[in-house]
């Protein structure tokens, strides 16, 4: 099994892991791999190990092995909504590569079609694929970074639309490697959450898309992308919208703006002057900078408006 980045001492569980996975893990392991290259924030220390399984069978055996030897793990999409600690992550980070990125037209009717999309597929690729074939519904996702799996788990949304509005089912794997396909009505989607237990992995989503005109859909996607360019910071690393919008009439961005926090900085992290609900990496930010700025924003908004802002981004590895 190929090993890279092993100059540092391997974690104490490495020998048991290598022995247990020798018969099935074909993709190898990256030991002590820096995570800043795997997130859109461009921060994060090393994971003890990164693994890219080649198929579902290998993934199932992997999570079963990790459970048996009591090693923590998590699945990371394209890192567009996470902050990873400067100290890195314990255990194994599981990434879905091109072996988990298929798009398949399953069924077609007069007015709609059902499409199966694997979790590792880039959301931008899915949007382009659908628009080219005149399948409508995903235009709101134009310009949203990340993977389809991450978008499902986060119930990603924009312009008052969410992933759950298009899904008819999701194939999942539990923490013991068992696979099942669940209908939308059996799930518990909520604002920026799919409601599944921790340790559940999204393998693929089934989307019902409506028939439309490819040129019209392309125009709509272009308009959405242009709005993002105008309303959101460009050419700076960030994790997308940082805080969830609280219940009420004002969004998180409006509250942060009204608190006078645009441009406020801690180290290399700054509240974007363009959109107040974006914390950006000006080039030298650490995860600690981002967390300190997050807490500052939360404190000021709570003091001024009595509203506790909750992060939308996932914070990983912080003690």
288 token code pair: 């600690």
Give the pair of three-digit tokens for residue 313. Answer: 């981004």
Task: Yes or no: say if 35 and 46 are a contact pair by the CB < 8 Å rule.
Answer: yes
CB neighbours of 260 closer than 8 A, spacing ≥ 6?
none
Tokens of 290: 């981002």
Residue 284, number of CB atoms within 10 A of its CB: 10
d(CA 14, CA 10): 6
Residues that are catalytic: 192, 241, 312
C-alpha triplet 131, 132, 138: angle, nearest 5°: 15
| The two structure tokens encoding residue 34 | 């820096």
Cα–Cα distances in Å, from 15 out to 18, 20, 22, 98, 120? 5, 9, 11, 28, 29
Report phi then psi at 301, rounded to 5. -65, -40
Question: Rounded to an integer, what distance in angstroms lies between the CA atom of residue 243 and that of residue 309?
Answer: 6
Encoded tokens for 92 = 């194994």
Round to whole Å and give the CA distance between 173 and 192.
Answer: 20
- For 62-71, letters b (16+ CB in 10 Å) and e give bbebbeeeeb
Q: Does the CA dihedral 197-200-201-206 come out positive or negative?
A: negative
């Amino acid at each position: 099994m190929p090993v890279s980045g092993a100059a540092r001492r391997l974690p104490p569980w490495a020998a048991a892991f290598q022995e247990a996975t020798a018969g099935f893990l074909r993709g190898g392991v990256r030991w002590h791999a820096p995570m800043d290259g795997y997130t859109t924030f461009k921060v994060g220390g090393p994971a003890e190990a990164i693994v890219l399984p080649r198929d579902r069978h290998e993934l199932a055996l992997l999570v079963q092995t990790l459970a048996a030897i009591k090693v923590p793990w998590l699945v990371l999409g394209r890192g567009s909504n996470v902050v990873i600690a400067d100290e890195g992550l314990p255990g194994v980070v599981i990434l879905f590569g091109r072996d988990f990125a298929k798009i398949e037209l399953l069924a077609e009717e007069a007015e709609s079609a059902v499409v199966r999309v694997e979790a590792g597929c880039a959301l931008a690729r899915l949007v382009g694929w659908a628009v080219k074939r005149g399948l409508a519904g995903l235009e709101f996702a134009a310009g949203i970074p990340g993977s389809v799996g991450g978008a499902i788990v986060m119930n990603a949304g924009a312009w008052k639309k969410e992933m759950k509005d298009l899904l008819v089912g999701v194939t999942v794997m539990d923490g013991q490697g068992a696979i099942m396909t669940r209908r939308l009505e059996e799930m518990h989607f909520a604002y920026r959450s799919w409601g599944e237990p921790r340790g559940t992995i999204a393998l693929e989503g089934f989307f019902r898309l409506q028939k439309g005109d490819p040129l019209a859909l392309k125009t709509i996607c272009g308009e959405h992308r242009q709005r993002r360019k105008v309303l959101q910071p460009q050419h700076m690393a960030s994790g997308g919208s940082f805080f969830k919008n609280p219940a009420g009439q004002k969004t998180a961005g409006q509250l942060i703006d009204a608190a006078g926090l645009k441009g406020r900085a801690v180290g290399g992290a700054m509240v974007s002057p363009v959109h107040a609900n974006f914390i950006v990496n000006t080039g030298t930010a650490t995860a600690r900078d981002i967390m300190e700025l997050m807490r500052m924003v939360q404190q000021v908004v709570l003091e001024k408006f009595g509203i506790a802002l909750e992060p939308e981004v996932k914070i990983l590895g912080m003690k």
